[in-house]
Structure 1
């Protein structure tokens, strides 16, 4: 008991640090985002569909190879979405911000496995994954 009283500040600091780490982990999981390695695994092993929610001009400037372009504004009710709502949908955009919002919209629409690629196309490039440009 004397140890706890003498070192209360260290104990408080350790508890706060652990709490912040736990909070960060919970926030990451709540967003439904996945890293590039997990995205590739889902595409290869679980028939995941990569959807780029960028505007057509952004998509033409560069996109992940194999991605379908469905702009964020026309995502709801888009015919290009897979009819099988159980398939993993991996949403990507240049930074990942729009993709996160798109994942939320699609989960509400019944696509239970809709998730954003964390970091977007920038992270995709940094991971050394293939990027293509639409021919002009």
Structure 2
């Protein structure tokens, strides 16, 4: 170990670009982890969502495109087109104390809608990690077609 520490300055001097790239990647990982810890909503796995559904009655909102929603969606979910999503809507405002779970096809486009819900005063906001695809991969039931 002592030998490695003596050779480290020479290695870093000879491989400056590699060392700089390592530092950038490390900083990127740290910033990403800090941002994940500071966000005000939580992510749920399909198993975690199942527990939440069994223990409470969360409001499930699917923000998938219409075609994706018709192919497969969770039973009991309310479909809202992303362009029509409004946390201030009177029907949605009644559910501020309920857990609200946002879902889409793959779970990637839900950061902004979740932040909008939090800004509108919703205290328990969740996002289904992996979306409907993760739900299907866990072999949980899905519905097809329109409402």
| TM-score (normalizing by structure 1) | 0.74
For 2:101, what is the secondary structure of its paired residue?
Answer: strand
Structure 1 unaligned regions, length at least 5: 10-15
1:107 aligns with 2:118: yes
| Structure 1 runs (4+) greater than 4 angstroms displaced | 5-9, 19-29
Deviation larger for 59-68 or 77-86 = 77-86
Structure 2: gaps (5+ residues): 9-22
Compute the displacement of 1:21 (Å).
8.1
The alpha-carbon distance between structure 1 residues 82 and 123, as it changes in their structure 2 partners (threshold 3 A), is farther
TM-score for both structures, normalised by structure 2:
0.69
Count of residue pairs brought into register by the alignment? 126
- 2:138 is aligned to 127
In structure 2, do the counterparts of structure 1 residues 89 and 135 end up closer, same or farther at CA, with 3 Å as the change threshold?
A: closer
Tell me which of 103, 123, 126 is aligned to 1:92: 103
Contact 2:74–2:132, Cα closer than 8 Å, also in 1: yes
Deviation of 1:24 after TM superposition, in Å, equals 6.2
SS of the equivalent of 1:130 reads coil
2:56 is matched with which residue? Answer: 46
